[in-house]
Amino acid sequence: MTKVLFVCLGNICRSPMAEAVFRHQVKEAGLDSQIEIDSAGTGDWHVGERPHKGTLAKMEEHGISTEGMYARQITPRDGKHYDYIVAMDDSNMNNMLCVFGDTKATVLRMLDVIDDELTEVPDPYYTGDFEQTYDLVRRASIALLEKIKREQAIV
Ligand code: 4NP
């Protein structure tokens, strides 16, 4: 089982969207029994909450399930459990590395896997642009799945 964790700040906008989109793609590829997926935030303000209504609306628009998703905060244990830990921006990356310390996981930024002028997923909590987030997350998820299949020899 390959384990993948998406991390943002609040775990209500970007990383839940990445979790839902990636899970949808993994399921469509018939690989859901081989890849475990979750998301978490570096902050604790929204722990226990459902994703932001902008994320929920975007997922509904595209027929992507968010069932059972509630915000949680990263823990040191995540750094040991997951094989791939994917941060939405540089600040998430720095903060999560402080919490995880030494980790054997492959740690990367969401947009590292695609060619785009952006290197960080803009935060729609502030921009209000959930469509931009969805477009970036969708494209990066496709590339991330290809990378993981290649590296883990998943067919
Ligand atoms: P996210 O967006 O990190 O993509 O979930 C945010 C959600 C909440 C806050 C900041 C960013 N907040 O400050 O409450």
- Judged against a pLDDT cut of 90, whether residue 132 lies above it is answered with yes
Cα–Cα separations (whole angstroms), residue 71 to 1, 5, 46, 49, 95: 23, 13, 6, 5, 17
Indicate the angle between helix axes 53-61 and 14-28, nearest 10 degrees: 20
Whether 123 is catalytic: yes
- Judged against a pLDDT cut of 90, whether residue 153 lies above it is answered with yes
Q: What average pLDDT does the chain have?
A: 98
**Predicted pLDDT of residue 82:** 98
DSSP one-letter code for 73:
B
Convert the pLDDT of each residue in 75-120 to its tens digit: 999 999 999 999 999 999 999 999 999 999 999 999 999 999 999 9
Q: Ligand 1 pocket check: which of 7, 13, 134 to mutate, most ligand atoms within 8 Å of Cβ?
A: 13
Whether 102 is catalytic: no
Smallest CA separation from ligand 1 atom 8, residue: 10
Q: Where are the domains of the chain?
A: 2-152
Tokens of 108: 């990367």
Tokens of 139: 């494209």
The C-alpha atoms of residue 114 and residue 45 are separated, in whole angstroms, by 30
**Predicted pLDDT of residue 93:** 98
Q: Which CATH class is domain 2-152?
A: alpha beta
The C-alpha atoms of residue 58 and residue 128 are separated, in whole angstroms, by 12
**Triad 92, 146, 139: Cα angle to 5°:** 60
How far is ligand 1, taken at its centre, from the CA of residue 138, in Å?
Answer: 19
How far is ligand 1, taken at its centre, from the CA of residue 13, in Å?
Answer: 6
Q: What percent of the chain has pLDDT over 70?
A: 100
Residue 71 in contact with ligand 1 by CB distance below 6 A:
no
| Count of beta carbons in the 10 Å neighbourhood of residue 137 | 27
